[in-house]
Chains A and B, each alone.
Chain A
Amino acid sequence: MLLSQARPLIGCCPLCAFAGVGKSSLVHLLCQNQVLGNPSWTVGCSVDVRIHDYKEGTPEEKTYYIELWDVGGSVGSATSVKSTRAVFYNLLNGIILVHDLTNKKSSQNLYRWSLEALNRDVAPTGVLVTNGDYDREQFADNQIPLLVIGTKLDQIPETKRNEVLTRTAFLAEDFNAEEINLDCTNPRYLAAGSSNAVKLSRFFDKVIEKRYFLRDGNQIPGFTERKRFGGGTLKSLHYD
């Protein structure tokens, strides 16, 4: 989950020009294949659309729209902000959890974000769920595909990279999800054919399958699925 430092503030404080974890940059990169030039605070929710080729390269190739919903706010927000965010959490098809590789605490907050997104937030007191207390049972019956993305890879010095990558690998395992680590200011991490692009593609395919094929046998021609970034969670919502 993205520990978004974006609070509902309009305007950009000059010291905070590069705010937060980088959800908006990530969404921009995924949808426009371009680097976001001037990131600013995300107020409320912003949406972007990506066109995805389901099962690319096979005869059953079909094109779908994927909506990425990027919901700003922090996990420790007031209950009023949380209830407002809950409006966007209906009918997810997939969740992308985004965290900041340079900030350990953002990855620890991912557990709380995922619980909030799945409407099972039982820790309103702000006690962080650490690795030890994490209850895998809550995710055991979870059918929604998850993806964990770590941003700001370029800001980790070479010497610490291994240790950080091991930690994030454990994190992804906890969520039973695939993992991608990248730098949102450099489009080459998601270049076509790279392993990251393949993982992303597989994830979107899973989401589409879950939405359209597992529920009802027939295919509904490519309408949109919504994925929402909820503070770094990307949820898919289907739009009929």
Chain B
Amino acid sequence: MSFLIDSSIMVTSQVLFFGFGWLFFMRQLFKDYEVRQYVVQVIFSVTFAFSCTMFELIIFEILGVLNSSSRYFHWKLNLCVILLILVFMVPFYIGYFVVSNIRLLHRQKLLFACVLWLTFMYFFWKLGDPFPILSPKHGILSIEQLISRVGVIGVTLMALLSGFGAVNCPYTYMSYFLRNVTDADILALERRLLQTMDMIVSKKKRIAVAHRTMFQRGEVHNKPTGFWGMIKSVTTSVAGSESILHLHVGTCLGRWPQLSSVLKGKALGSFDYAGLPDLSLIQQEVDALEELSRQLFLETADLHATKERIEYSKTFQGKYFNFLGYFFSIYCVWKIFMATINIVFDRVGKTDPVTRGIEITVNYLGIQFDVKFWSQHISFILVGIIIVTSIRGLLITLTKFFYAISSSKSSNVIVLLLAQIMGMYFVSSVLLIRMSMPLEYRTIITEVLGELQFNFYHRWFDVIFLVSALSSILFLYLAHKQAPEKHMAL
């Protein structure tokens, strides 16, 4: 009886999470696209729902809600479903949508999707070999095998994101790093941009006029494609320009007074001896100028963004974030330091922060309080905060990433990739969160997940975190250095 009640509670919460994932998909991710394949939306919401349920079960474990046997049952069920989705369904659909984008393979979509999926499974399996994750006495398709591999990928992702986030957060919050940008700088840059565009326009006009003349003379110049086309175009263009020389000069005066003024007034270096523009040279100049205009555009956008940030930092909110930035930079340095210590001294934390904090207060500060009661509540709050911030942080990062690289063709594939990343990320957070919980609550995770070498995952996280944080520092330093140099060059 109690099992039924518990199950209905779980199912209700799962439906709620599913709804939330659905809304998030529609309102945030796909707000500029039309959803044509509902499968994608369903898969994304289902992955989100089951991942959140895992976190919910952890919270229930701490609070002691629900029957312990039904909790165990739901853990197992949840884990099986999530692994099924992450290892079988999502990769298969990714392969399917990739194949449907390629026109050639349209006929046998399913076949090629299966081939892709089998390749994925092969690499997924091979992933487990170099890592000492499992004791070898488990069967091939057991939960432990799958989870261990999913865990490796997920932990790598978590550490990468965490490392970059830890460094980037103080960099963006603190106003110490803001470059000084004045309105005059922006105006000067915009003027350069417009000048470059004007030069491009005038050169394109010359090309257009030349094309039109050749077209009217019956020399239809199709753009050369491929290797032989390029060879052909070199030989024919030279011959063509000479023959239409005289006619061009004759017709221009009569029909195009403006063109004749252009020819007379602007006989520049790119005209050959006959007075006819050398098209390939002009085209090269145009390409170079277009590249320059792109760079200038990006720089101008960058300057506008910096100016906005400077203005924002003068507001009250900006000052608050600036202060937070100092705090976070200290936290970041501490984390890097701890990661280094862990690796160098091969240290594995045995106790979680809650128990250790309580120990310190009880033993050193001599404050007595009800340990059991407080440890439950504090670990609930701590774990809750970790869960909520990691979910929120991940969703925001995914959204930004999606906006940056998606297009109408590839949006389905990218969303599925994001769902895969999200699922793996959440599964490995469960693995790592075990460290932050007191011993009595860790048992269920250890029971359900079997005999994984948890210490390996923590070590792996530290290594990747260190690598990621240090390379982000290097990257940001180089980017920061480069920008004021560009300014000087203006």
Contact = CB atoms under 8 A, between A and B. Distances in A.
Interface of A: 3, 5, 7-10, 13, 15-21, 31-32, 34, 37, 43-51, 63, 65, 67, 69, 74, 76, 78-81, 83-84, 87-88, 100, 102-106, 109, 221-224, 226, 239
B209 A51 contact: yes
A189 to B, nearest CB: 18
A109 B197 contact: no
A87 B174 CA distance: 30
Contacts of B212: 51
A102 B407 CA distance: 13
A3 to B, nearest CB: 6
B305 to A, nearest CB: 4
Given A47-B201, A103-B408, A221-B257, A87 B208 contact: no
B201 to A, nearest CB: 5
A114 B307 CA distance: 26
A19 B297 CA distance: 20
A40 to B, nearest CB: 11
Nearest to B411: A5
Contact of B294 (A31, A44, A100): A44
Q: Chain B CB within 10 Å — which of A3, A50, A80, A222 has the most? A: A80
Interface stretch (B15-23, B38-46, B398-406, B458-466): B398-406
B404 A87 contact: no
A105 B405 contact: no
A173 B346 CA distance: 72
A31 B215 CA distance: 13
A104 B32 CA distance: 9
B101 interface: yes
A63 B301 CA distance: 36
Nearest to B307: A80
Interface string B403-419: 11111111001100000
A34 B208 CA distance: 13
Interface string B262-304: 0000000000000000000000000000100110111011101
Interface of B is mostly: helix
Given A10-B294, A34-B223, A49 B101 contact: no
B222 A16 contact: no
A63 B258 CA distance: 9
Contact of B204 (A8, A17, A49, A87): A49
A194 B414 CA distance: 40
Give 6 closest A-B pairs by Cβ, nearest first. A44-B297, A80-B304, A80-B305, A15-B410, A16-B407, A49-B204
Interface residues of B, number: 50
Contact of A16 (B200, B290, B305, B405): B405
Interface of B: 31-34, 98, 101, 190, 193-194, 197-198, 200-201, 204-205, 207-209, 211-212, 222-223, 225, 255-258, 290, 293-294, 296-298, 300-302, 304-305, 307-308, 403-410, 413-414
B196 to A, nearest CB: 10
A51 B208 contact: yes
B35 to A, nearest CB: 10
Given A10-B294, A19-B409, A44-B296, 11 more contacts: A17-B409, A20-B408, A37-B225, A43-B297, A45-B197, A47-B201, A49-B205, A65-B205, A83-B304, A104-B34, A105-B34
Contacts of B294: 10, 43-44
A105 B32 contact: yes
14 contacts: A5-B32, A13-B410, A15-B410, A16-B406, A16-B410, A19-B407, A34-B223, A43-B294, A49-B208, A51-B212, A80-B301, A81-B304, A84-B190, A84-B301
A20 B34 contact: no
B76 to A, nearest CB: 37
A45 B404 CA distance: 18
A44 B305 CA distance: 15
Contacts of B308: 79-80
Contacts of A104: 34
Contact of A18 (B193, B198, B301, B409): B409
A4 to B, nearest CB: 10
B301 A81 contact: yes
Contacts of B408: 5, 20-21, 100, 102-103
Contacts of B222: 34
A15 B404 CA distance: 13
B264 to A, nearest CB: 14
A59 to B, nearest CB: 13
B335 to A, nearest CB: 30
B204 A84 contact: no
A80 B301 CA distance: 6
Contacts of B32: 3, 5, 74, 76, 105-106, 109
